[in-house]
Amino acid sequence: MLLENKTALITGGSRGIGRALCDVFAREGADVAFCYASNEEAAQETVQLIEGHGRRAVAVQADVGDRDASLRMVEAVTGELGRIDIAVLNAGINRGSLFLRMPDRDWDDIMRVNVGGLYNVGKPVFQQMMRQRGGVFLSISSISAIRTAPAGVPYAVSKAAAIGFIKSIAREGGRLGIRANAIAVGVVETDLAHTIPEHFLQLYQDWCAMGRLGAADETAELAAFLVSDRNSYMTGEVVVQDGGVVV
């Protein structure tokens, strides 16, 4: 198994890519902690997936945009599992507004969660990994950070920030045994995809060599390899997984 005897923290684990990450990581041998915003029923479904693989599951309700809540979450996970070997910064939100008509609150909300969460969760986890002299970060970014994809201005900006965060963490953590990489995903068939107008989704599939949206488990399978010890000499990199989009 790729992740045997590892412990993982995944933000936004109650649905979509986050749930797929929890499922695949547990299948590959990791004990998995995850946070969720509010849907306790969905969180318990994820717990059942993890435990179904015979692994320990820890679910923590926390808003990654809240610094104090994020710190409490990291402390709770470390106390329960003993250490954090892998941290996947996956939690994110989007709004469907065009930039010209976007309410200020849409920008503020996306930056608070998508960018603020990088710091709020990333810093205490980085400190923990420094103490244990090792660990792996993975950020779930987006092709909208590097291409002209129809995902919205604040979302694209926030996902570009995720790439900058990963590259900087890779630089600071490399001599301490900490690796950090990102996946720039295309449009994946999740609730978040439905914040994109339907005609843009059709355009995306026209641009995509494979002619379809991605699946959450496809991203999770790639993620499991990227955070594993078999990928020990890659850090500071962005892997694009978009089905062959040319725009």
27-40 tens-digit pLDDT:
999 999 999 999 99
Instruction: State which H helix or E strand residue 142 sits in.
Output: strand 135-142
Catalytic residues: 155
d(CA 132, CA 125): 11
What the block records as the tokens of 28 is 């590959």
Q: Look at residue 246 in the predicted model and tell me its pLDDT.
A: 75
Asked whether residue 2 carries a pLDDT value surpassing 80, the answer given is: yes
CB burial string 23-51: b at 16+ within 10 A, e below: bbbbbbbbbbbbbbbeeeebbeebbebbe
126-165 tens-digit pLDDT:
999 999 999 999 999 999 999 877 678 999 999 999 999 9
223, amino acid identity = A
Neighbour order of strands in the sheet with 238-241: 57-61, 31-36, 7-10, 86-89, 135-142, 178-185, 238-241
201-243 tens-digit pLDDT:
888 888 889 999 999 999 999 999 999 999 999 999 999 999 9
What the block records as the tokens of 189 is 């068939």
Q: How confident is the model at residue 195 (pLDDT cuts 50, 70, 90)?
A: low
> How far from the centroid of its chain's Cα atoms is residue 194's Cα?
18
Domains and CATH numbers, the chain: 7-240 (3.40.50.720)
Asked whether residue 71 carries a pLDDT value surpassing 90, the answer given is: yes
